[in-house]
Amino acid sequence: MRNKDAKTMTTSTPWKEITPGGAIYDAGNAEDFLTGDWRAMKPVWIIEKCTQCMLCPPTCPDNAIPVEDSKRLDYDYDHCKGCGVCFKVCPFDAIDFVKEDE
C-alpha cells in the first residue's frame, strides 16, 4: 500500500502517512523534493568567467543548472546537493566550490 503522494506531503504530514524510511516509489520526482539542504559545499557561478561552453549542465546529476535560450543560468540551490561535478568539469574556472555557510 502506498502512502500519500509526495506532492501532498508537508512538514505537518502525520508520521503514519509518510513512507517507511522516507522511501520514494515513483521515478522522475526529483522536482518534488527540496534536497539542497543536504549540502555541505556549494558551487558558486562566476558569471564574468563563464563562456557558456555548456559543459556543466549535462554533468549535473540533479538538473540543478537551469538552461534557458541555450544559456546556463544560476544554480537551483533548492535541488543542488553540492557534489562538485560541475566545478571539476569547468575548464574556465567559472565555478567556485565553497563551504555552504560562505
Task: Kindly state whether residues 9 and 57 are assigned to the same domain.
Answer: no
Same domain (yes/no): 57, 97: yes
pLDDT tens string 39-76: 899 999 999 999 999 999 999 998 999 999 999 999 99
pTM of the model: 0.70
Could you tell me if 82 and 42 are in contact, meaning their C-beta atoms sit under 8 angstroms apart? Answer: yes
54 plus 87 within the same structural domain: yes
| 32: its cell numbers | 518534488
CATH number at residue 45: 3.30.70.20
With CA atoms as reference, report the closest residue to 16 among 24, 4, 7, 33.
Answer: 4
* Residue 24: domain span: 1-33
pLDDT of res. 96? 98
Domain count, the chain: 2
Task: Judge if 18 and 51 occupy the same domain.
Answer: no
**pLDDT averaged over the chain?**
85
